[in-house]
């Protein structure tokens, strides 16, 4: 399937999903979001994919919602157009990235602003390039944050720091983003290689176990420790019965790298 606003590339165990409107700093529109939603099941149906890298083409990850869409939302003219396509519905298109079964890495290659940062937070891991800035700038436009910003950010960096960013609309640099926990790694000229190395490290692990672990992590903040133990036990029991588990144990005894097949 060909897309107009994104690129979807597969190479071995890695799939790359790229926001591809660099002339507009990958500004987010309903059309782009619809393509992301279409891409997710295609990625999930590809057995070879063990990790997904999400990034922006050009010099930005994403500048957030397109200015035209925002202007239409705040217009007093009832005939101005659909704007963002209806708030939550627009945001759900992009947050469908959370439905990826394989782990995802947001490669924040440039600025990630407002909804652009929210989209990056929908991924499981984040690597940020030196020089990139990120921020929740919604209130700087006089509008309430969206795309689950008030849900994801406090869980990631704590309520006080989340409040600071959400109330001020301030942009922070890459080093601060790592220090606060928005990203786990910062890289400069070796950015692409750092992202690739992380992806290959994940891809080298047992894919059945990794996908199960992603499912378990998803609701970690909503479960009690006893509920977590029960879920982990159930998932572990399933993985104990896989060919990958047998291969992993055999490789350990033979002191070699395992060759997982995803079964």
Domains of the chain from N-terminus onward = 6-203 (3.90.226.10), 207-253 (1.10.12)
Say which residue the tokens 């409107």 belong to.
21
- pLDDT band for position 86 (cuts 50, 70, 90): low
pLDDT at 56 over 80: yes
- Window from 47-56, 62-71, 141-150, 209-218 with minimum mean pLDDT: 62-71
Pairwise CA distance, residues 195 & 187, whole Å: 9
Helix (H, G, I), strand (E, B) or coil at 153: helix
Average pLDDT of 232-246? 92
Q: What is the mean pLDDT of residues 248-257?
A: 89
Per mean pLDDT, which range of 58-62, 167-171, 225-229 is the poorest? 225-229
Assessment of whether the complete model's pTM goes beyond 0.75: yes
Mean per-residue pLDDT for 27-49?
Answer: 97
The C-alpha atoms of residue 88 and residue 148 are separated, in whole angstroms, by 9
- Confidence category of residue 262, pLDDT binned at 50, 70, 90: confident
- Report the number of secondary-structure helices (H) and strands (E) in the chain: 11, 10
Cβ atoms of 202 and 51 closer than 8 Å:
yes
Which one, of 56, 66, 46, lies nearest residue 6 by Cα? 56
Q: Is 29 exposed, middle or buried (0-12, 13-18, 19+ CB in 10 A)?
A: buried
pLDDT value at 85 more than 60: no
pLDDT category of residue 82 using cuts at 50, 70 and 90: very low
pLDDT at 77: 58
At 32 the pLDDT is: 96
Mean pLDDT estimate for the chain: 92
- Mean pLDDT for 43-47 is 97
Region of residue 42 (left: phi > 0; alpha: psi -120 to 50; beta: else):
alpha
In this structure, what token pair is assigned to residue 198? Answer: 């992380």
What is the pLDDT at residue 71?
Answer: 63
Separation CA 150–CA 124 (nearest Å): 17
The percent of residues above 90 in pLDDT, for the chain, comes to 82
Which range is least confidently modeled, 60-69, 122-131, 174-183? Answer: 60-69
Mean pLDDT of the 217-237 span: 91
Q: Which of 79-93, 95-109, 124-138 has the lowest mean pLDDT?
A: 79-93
Counted residue by residue, the chain has a size of 263
Which of the given ranges, 40-54, 61-75, 232-246, has the highest pLDDT on average?
Answer: 40-54
Residue 80 scores a pLDDT above 50: no
């Amino acid at each position: 399937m060909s897309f107009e606003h994104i690129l979807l590339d597969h190479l071995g165990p890695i799939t790359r999903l790229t926001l591809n409107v660099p002339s507009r700093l990958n500004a987010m529109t309903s059309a782009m979001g619809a393509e992301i939603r279409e891409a997710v099941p295609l990625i999930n149906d590809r057995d070879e994919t063990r990790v997904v890298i999400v990034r922006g083409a050009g010099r930005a990850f994403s500048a957030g919602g397109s200015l035209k869409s925002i202007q239409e939302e705040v217009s007093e003219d009832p005939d101005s157009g659909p704007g963002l396509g209806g708030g939550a519905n627009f945001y759900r298109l992009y947050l469908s990235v959370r439905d990826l079964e394989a782990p995802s890495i947001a490669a924040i290659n440039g600025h990630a602003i407002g909804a652009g940062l929210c989209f990056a937070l929908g991924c499981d891991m984040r690597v940020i390039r030196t020089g990139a800035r990120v921020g929740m700038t919604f209130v700087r436009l006089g509008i309430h944050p969206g795309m689950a910003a008030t849900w994801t950010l406090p869980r990631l960096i704590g309520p006080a720091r989340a409040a600071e960013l959400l109330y001020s609309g301030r942009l922070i640099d890459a080093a601060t983003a790592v220090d606060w926990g928005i990203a786990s790694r910062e890289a400069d000229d070796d950015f692409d290689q750092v992202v690739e190395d992380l992806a290959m490290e994940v891809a080298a692990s047992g894919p059945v176990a990794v996908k199960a672990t992603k499912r378990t992590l998803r609701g970690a903040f909503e479960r009690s420790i006893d509920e977590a133990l029960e879920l982990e036990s159930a998932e572990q029991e399933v993985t104990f019965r896989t060919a990958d588990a047998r291969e992993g144990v055999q490789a350990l005894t033979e002191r070699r790298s395992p060759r997982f097949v995803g079964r």
